[in-house]
């Protein structure tokens, strides 16, 4: 028995931060097009609804993580997860986007038919949808599980082990001894929050990360909100933080020795003699080779100074009944172990893509402008920056999608796709980070070229001109 399909002009996959933002752009710039959003989970919000661990917050400022079209009105620039989730829900409700979402619709297969110029999307629940244009806003990591190393002796441990992605909100950690394994954004968020109730929290790291303390509130932005109209104040604050972020990233790349010293001295000023900074906050890599961790209002450092938290830099030998045996010979005891060991990258949420019956291997694809792939028609992936706020890039991509669709309407064409024109192209990894979750996935994700338009630039100003003002009709993009 054949399942009938429902048609809509455009299908967006994912109702998270970028999915709702993309829907807003479509409604306002392509008002004659119908669309729906297919969401695999049962709620709006994506990352900000999935993660429930204590202290969950943004690792980018909200003036750049927030949408360009909806001013962030919260008083904290590093916002908690609940506030960000409410912001996303408000955006969806205010624009009627929430009425276009089909929940519990996980796309497992997407097939393109060149004769009909249509995508057919097969849903895990058996339903089918067809569309002319498909946009995925499903992020880049596996929502079902995070990365969990194969710890030796884990089965012998009598305490509780939990990954932040699967946090049990009923977990009582009052007066418990806790080990948080990891040194990234999740770990530095968890440690000071858990320390408020726990007896002792140990951040066990194999290697340190760069950490920068910033004020939780932006006093300059607060001042501008008092003297300027809200939209203008938001615009100015947004561009101030975009500029500062770009300066920080580019100067770290240009003068890594200077910034390494500056960042470590910043930690020394905050933490005093409480911790051996040279041992525990001295990464082996240059600044911004991995993402910089932000600490609002010194909360991590205050927890360490209070004695409620400690940091240990060592390697895990094996788990014991009561905790973890380290390679140094020391043993750490714990009632609870939190494995903040990272994510698993999963391209397109794990769905299969085939073009006229040919199944595609993601590793064979080359990315165009950081949003499309060679010879795949009417298909865009909305992703953000790794060195700045996710939304900055996703907003630009959504605007460019609207330009593409409007150009197709203008020229009376039904499909568009970038092509290599049968010319050889030099490729490199699509992500230039050496973080563990990136290195583990390099053989299974698309690549990028070494020059435009196949090069993915981590530069908002450059992308702003490329996406908003450059010609769509280049030698690579084909309209048929």
DSSP states along 431-454: -----HHHHTTGGGS-EEESSTTS
Kindly report the CATH class assigned to 154-339: alpha beta
* pLDDT tens, residue by residue, 357-405: 999 888 888 999 989 999 999 999 998 887 788 899 999 999 999 999 9
Q: What angle do CA 440, 442, 444 make, to 5 degrees?
A: 100
Q: How wide is the angle at C-alpha 42 spanned by C-alphas 39 and 47, nearest 5°?
A: 70
Are the C-beta atoms of residues 47 and 349 closer than 8 Å to each other? no
**Side by side, which strands form the sheet with 309-313?**
160-162, 336-339, 177-181, 200-205, 309-313
Q: To which H or E segment does residue 38 belong?
A: strand 35-38
Task: Report in angstroms the alpha-carbon separations of 398 from 136, 225, 314, 336, 479.
Answer: 11, 28, 44, 43, 19
| Predicted local distance difference test score (pLDDT) of residue 105 | 96
Residues of the chain with pLDDT under 70: 1-3, 432-439, 441-442
Asked whether 90 and 74 are in contact (CB, 8 A), the reply is no
Nearest to 397 by CA among 423, 367, 442, 427: 367
Helix (H) or strand (E) holding 223: helix 219-227
The predicted structure's pLDDT at residue 1 = 36
Pairing of strands 177-181, 293-296: unpaired
For the chain, give every residue range classified as CATH 3.50.50.60. 5-144+344-479, 154-339
Residue 221 pLDDT: 82
Closest CA to 171 of 159, 182, 181: 159
pLDDT given for residue 2 in this prediction? 47
* Partners of residue 133 on adjacent β-strands: 10
For residue 180, is it left (φ>0), alpha (ψ between -120 and 50) or beta? beta
Torsion sign over Cα 184, 296, 249, 221:
positive
Per the CB < 8 A criterion, the answer to whether 390 and 17 are in contact is yes
Q: How far is 221 from 226, CA to CA, in rounded Å? A: 9
Token couple for 340: 């903040």
Bridge-partner residues for 449, per DSSP? Answer: 427
Residue 417, CB-side half-sphere exposure with 13 Å CA sphere: 22
The token pair that represents 341 in the structure block: 């060991």
CA quadruple 5, 9, 13, 16: dihedral sign: negative
**Cα(88)–Cα(82) distance, integer angstroms:** 10
Tell me how far apart the alpha carbons of residues 8 and 18 are, in angstroms, rounded to a whole number. Answer: 20
SS3 29: helix
φ, ψ for residue 263, nearest 5 deg: -65, -40
Domain formed by 5-144+344-479, architecture: 3-Layer(bba) Sandwich (3.50)
Identify the DSSP state of 347.
G
Residue 413 φ/ψ, nearest 5 degrees:
-100, 155
Q: For the CA atoms of the chain, what is the radius of gyration?
A: 23
What pTM was estimated for this model as a whole? 0.92
- Name the β-bridge partners of 66: none
* DSSP E strands, 124-265: 128-131, 133-136, 160-162, 177-181, 200-205, 211-214
User: Dihedral of the CA atoms 40, 45, 51, 52 (nearest 10)?
Assistant: -120
The per-residue b/e assignment along 11-30, b for 16 or more CB within 10 angstroms, e otherwise, is bbbbbbbbbbbbbbbbbeeb
């Amino acid at each position: 028995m054949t399942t009938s399909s429902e048609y809509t002009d455009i299908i967006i996959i994912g109702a998270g931060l970028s999915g709702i933002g993309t829907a807003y752009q479509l409604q306002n710039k392509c008002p004659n097009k119908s669309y729906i959003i297919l969401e695999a989970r049962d709620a709006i919000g994506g990352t900000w609804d999935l993660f429930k661990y204590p202290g969950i917050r943004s690792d980018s400022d909200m003036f750049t993580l927030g949408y360009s079209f909806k001013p962030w009105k919260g008083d904290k620039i590093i916002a908690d997860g609940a506030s960000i989730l409410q912001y996303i829900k408000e955006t969806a409700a205010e624009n009627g986007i929430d009425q276009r979402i089909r929940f519990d619709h996980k796309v497992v297969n997407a097939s393109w038919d060149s004769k009909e110029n249509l995508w057919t999307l097969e849903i895990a629940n058996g339903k089918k949808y067809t569309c002319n244009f498909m946009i995925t806003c499903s992020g880049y990591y596996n929502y079902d599980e995070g990365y969990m190393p194969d710890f030796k002796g884990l089965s012998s441990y009598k305490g509780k082990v939990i990954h932040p992605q699967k946090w049990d909100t009923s977990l009582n950690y009052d007066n418990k001894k806790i080990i948080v394994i990891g040194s990234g954004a999740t770990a530095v968020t968890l440690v000071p929050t858990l320390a408020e109730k726990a007896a002792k929290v140990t951040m066990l790291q194999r290697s340190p990360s760069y950490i920068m303390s910033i004020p939780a509130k932006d006093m300059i932005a607060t001042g501008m909100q008092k003297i300027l109209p809200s939209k203008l104040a938001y615009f100015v604050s947004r561009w101030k933080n975009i500029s500062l972020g770009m300066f920080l990233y580019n100067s770290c790349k240009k003068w890594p020795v200077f910034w390494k010293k500056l960042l470590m001295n910043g930690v020394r000023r905050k933490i005093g003699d409480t911790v051996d900074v040279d041992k525990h906050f001295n990464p082996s890599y240059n600044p911004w080779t991995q993402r910089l961790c932000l600490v609002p209002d010194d909360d991590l450092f205050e927890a360490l100074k209070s004695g409620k938290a400690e940091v240990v830099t060592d390697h895990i030998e094996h788990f014991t009944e009561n905790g973890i045996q380290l390679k140094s010979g020391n043993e750490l005891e714990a009632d609870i172990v939190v494995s903040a060991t990272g994510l698993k990258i999963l391209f397109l949420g794990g769905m299969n893509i085939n073009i006229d019956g040919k199944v595609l291997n993601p590793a064979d694809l080359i990315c165009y402008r950081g949003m499309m792939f060679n010879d795949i028609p009417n298909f865009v992936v909305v992703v953000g920056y790794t060195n700045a706020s996710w939304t900055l890039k996703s907003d630009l991509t959504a605007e460019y999608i609207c330009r593409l669709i409007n150009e197709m309407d203008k020229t009376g064409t039904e499909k568009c796709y970038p092509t290599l024109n049968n010319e050889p192209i030099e490729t490199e990894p699509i992500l230039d980070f050496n973080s563990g979750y990136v290195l583990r996935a390099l053989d299974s994700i698309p690549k990028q070229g070494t020059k435009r338009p196949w090069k993915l630039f981590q530069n908002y100003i450059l992308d702003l001109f490329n996406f908003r003002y450059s010609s769509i009709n280049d030698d690579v993009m084909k309209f048929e």
